[in-house]
Structure 1
């Protein structure tokens, strides 16, 4: 079941998506999907290549930017920001729980007025973001 949370008018986040979710995601109007989850993190997780191929068949771009849980680095923030700059919105980013994607957004973008405002928004949505 999809649990999409809106960060901005052009970016939403979700826990792991499945192949069966892609049609609904496309029907919701998303134009780009960003995967922040590495392949093989869990046995039941679909491969990014398969999700990407199916996304493109539905008219959505698919960007793979795997990030290791608990090991996000400065380069990850830069790459996420660059992906958002080139992606056609609206964008849906996903990982296991949505927290990695949200952490990348809080620390890697200039959305809203400040990092503190992004952090407060993320917390209000139920995310626990570490410094």
Structure 2
């Protein structure tokens, strides 16, 4: 498993796990898996439907939120956040390299903790997430700024 990072005590993100790594997740305490890979992606050793069967046979909940740079949007993040709230914790989230999983989960954590978009990007970088896709950086910043209370205070838009 590549690029494994624990976001907090409820969420860990990673690159694509192998079949044996998926089956070992319950012994590590994980209770749910979120897969951000789209069906038919390059270098996809496990199809999302196969992964669902593996995860569920191991006694965990499974959610598939297919995300690509062409489909990611504020609505996609909102839908993921709603699904995440309903999952038993801790959650193991992944994509091919961990970048999409990291971005999606960092946006959730940032809004929950009233961070600004700039703070979120700085925290992500501090945690070792390298975002070399300008469109993804812009999406993270705009999403968090639109949904977080901290950004309205920092931008002087708070009502007195």
Q: Output one character per residue of 1:5-64: Cα deviation in whole Å (capped at 9) or x when no partner.
A: 111110110101121211221211100000000111014421011111111111111101
Indicate the residue corresponding to 1:114 in structure 2: 115
Pick closer, same or farther for the CA change 1:117–1:7 going to 2, 3 Å.
farther
Q: TM-score w.r.t. structure 1 length?
A: 0.88
Larger radius of gyration between Structure 1 and Structure 2: 2
1:17 paired with 2:8, answer no
Would you say the 8 A contact 2:4–2:14 is kept in 1? yes
Cα offset for 1:111? 3.1
Cα offset for 1:99? 0.9
Higher helix proportion (structure 1 or 2): 2
Kindly tell me the number of residue pairs found equivalent between the two proteins: 131
Would you say the 8 A contact 2:3–2:14 is kept in 1? yes
Q: TM-score w.r.t. structure 2 length?
A: 0.73
Which consecutive unaligned segments of at least 5 residues does structure 1 have?
Answer: none
Q: RCO greater where, 1 or 2, for CA within 8 Å and sep 6 or more? A: 1
Residues 1-131 of structure 1 aligned to structure 2 (within 5 Å): 1=1, 3-69=3-69, 71-109=71-109, 110-115=111-116, 116-129=118-131, 130-131=137-138
Which consecutive unaligned segments of at least 5 residues does structure 2 have?
Answer: 132-136, 139-160
Would you say the 8 A contact 1:7–1:122 is kept in 2? no
